């Protein structure tokens, strides 16, 4: 049975469906000093899942809003993450502004201004009250104030965001913002969907792609459709290599492989988009064009892998993997786990849909 709770005074809607909770919060409700856009933030949790105590923060593409990406937000919540789709100023296409510039800092100056609101770029008008950083902080503070038992406070200390507990992600322009945030902040992981900063006139990446950032190279994951109508497939492979992702496997077609995709961080698909067969750019993560199978996104296992990586490679560093055995594989009923160690371990088991 579906339960609805409406709190009109806060302009917030809470819905509980199959143990998942959705909150819809306007930016001006979380922070009256923020400006436009005032399109809703979308937030999801699943209180029945053992919490990962990490936040999945997703940034929409140009002109898009969090409502357009609810499937991946819900998916992250069902994996045990606090999940936020953030509304932020994204009405200007940064790649269009900078693609014909000979200034290799054009993209980075524009993106950093959108992130922290400090004036750096003549074409960007985002102030410190309306930037990604403040909107994220104010939303986290608002959620903690209104839902004090959901542990939102772990993601900020005073007026500082605890970025090391956050997976930054995004589509297109939002993926680029996730990338540059990871350069100036140490984040948990970076999951970028069809995101690239390319200077057409110079036939090269923007400067910030090769910065020595604060986030380790093994934290970067990328996913794209090989026929993306907005991003050149060859150039994004150059971009991924400039991130350092070439050190973690070759390009993998997810349609003909399964998780963990040879542990590669460079993934692509040739699937036909849903609803409009020409929308390759949105196919990989936008709800309107993501193919579905029996009600589930066909890329659910890809999303899980991008958010979590290969769990076998992220276990306790003191564990000797050779001394742990899992059988049978595949399993339909009883999974046996044997180890020569006597330590007590906590195990989480997920299917390909998370």
Judge whether 93 lies within some domain: yes
Judge whether 80 lies within some domain: yes
Judge whether 81 lies within some domain: yes
Q: What's the pLDDT band for 313 if we cut at 50, 70, 90?
A: low
What is d(CA 83, CA 76) in angstroms, rounded to the nearest whole number?
Answer: 6
Q: What is the largest CA-CA distance in the chain?
A: 62
* Nearest residue to 137 via CA among 166, 106, 170, 94: 166
Instruction: Answer yes or no: are the C-beta atoms of 286 and 69 closer than 8 Å.
Output: yes
Judge whether 97 lies within some domain: yes
Mean pLDDT for the stretch of residues 121-132: 96
CATH code of residue 131: 3.40.50
Instruction: Quote the domain boundaries for residue 130.
Output: 3-320
Judge whether 280 lies within some domain: yes
Structure confidence by residue, pLDDT tens digits, 12-67 = 444 444 579 999 999 999 999 999 999 999 999 999 999 999 999 999 999 999 99
Q: Name the average pLDDT for the chain.
A: 89
24 forms beta bridges with 13, 42
167 forms beta bridges with 56, 189
Alpha carbons within 13 angstroms on the beta-carbon side of residue 328 total 5
Instruction: Answer yes or no: are the C-beta atoms of 211 and 107 closer than 8 Å.
Output: no
pTM for this predicted structure: 0.85
Structure confidence by residue, pLDDT tens digits, 144-178 = 999 999 999 999 999 999 999 999 999 999 999 99
Q: What's the total number of domains in the chain?
A: 1
Strands 82-85 and 55-59: parallel
What is d(CA 26, CA 7) in angstroms, rounded to the nearest whole number?
Answer: 13
Judge whether 325 lies within some domain: no
> Cα torsion at 21, 64, 207, 262 (round to 10°)?
50
Q: Which helix (H) or strand (E) holds 171?
A: strand 166-171
39: DSSP letter:
P
| Distance between first and last Cα of the chain | 23
């Amino acid at each position: 049975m579906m339960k609805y709770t409406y709190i009109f005074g806060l302009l917030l809607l809470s819905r509980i469906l199959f143990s998942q909770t959705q909150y819809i919060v306007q930016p001006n409700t979380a922070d009256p000093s923020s400006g436009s856009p005032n399109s809703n933030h979308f937030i999801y949790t699943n209180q029945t899942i053992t919490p990962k105590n990490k936040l999945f923060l997703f940034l929409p593409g140009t002109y898009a809003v969090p409502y357009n990406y609810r499937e991946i937000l819900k998916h992250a919540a069902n994996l045990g993450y606090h999940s936020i789709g953030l509304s932020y100023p994204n009405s200007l296409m940064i790649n269009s502004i900078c693609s014909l510039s000979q200034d290799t800092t054009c993209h980075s100056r524009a993106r950093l201004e959108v992130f922290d609101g400090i004036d750096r770029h003549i074409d960007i008008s985002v102030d410190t009250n309306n930037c990604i950083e403040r909107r994220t902080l104010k939303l986290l503070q608002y959620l903690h104030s209104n839902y004090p038992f959901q542990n939102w406070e772990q993601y900020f200390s005073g007026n500082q965001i605890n970025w090391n507990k956050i997976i930054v992600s995004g589509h297109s322009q939002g993926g680029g913002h996730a990338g540059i945030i990871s350069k100036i902040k140490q984040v948990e992981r970076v999951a970028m969907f069809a995101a690239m900063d390319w200077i057409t006139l110079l036939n090269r990446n923007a400067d910030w792609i090769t910065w020595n950032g604060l986030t380790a190279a093994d934290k970067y994951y990328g996913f794209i459709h090989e026929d993306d109508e907005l991003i050149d497939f060859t150039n994004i492979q150059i971009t991924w290599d400039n991130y350092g992702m070439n050190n973690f496997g070759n390009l993998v077609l997810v349609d003909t492989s399964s998780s963990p995709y040879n542990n590669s961080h460079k993934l692509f698909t040739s699937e036909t988009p849903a609803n409009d067969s020409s929308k390759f750019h949105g196919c990989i993560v936008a709800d309107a064009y993501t193919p579905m199978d029996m009600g589930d996104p066909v890329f659910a296992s890809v999303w899980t892998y991008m958010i979590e990586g290969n769990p076998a490679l992220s276990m306790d560093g003191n564990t000797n993997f050779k001394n742990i055995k899992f059988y049978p594989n595949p399993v339909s009923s009883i999974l046996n786990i044997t180890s020569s160690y006597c330590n007590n371990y906590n195990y989480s088991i997920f299917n390909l849909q998370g």
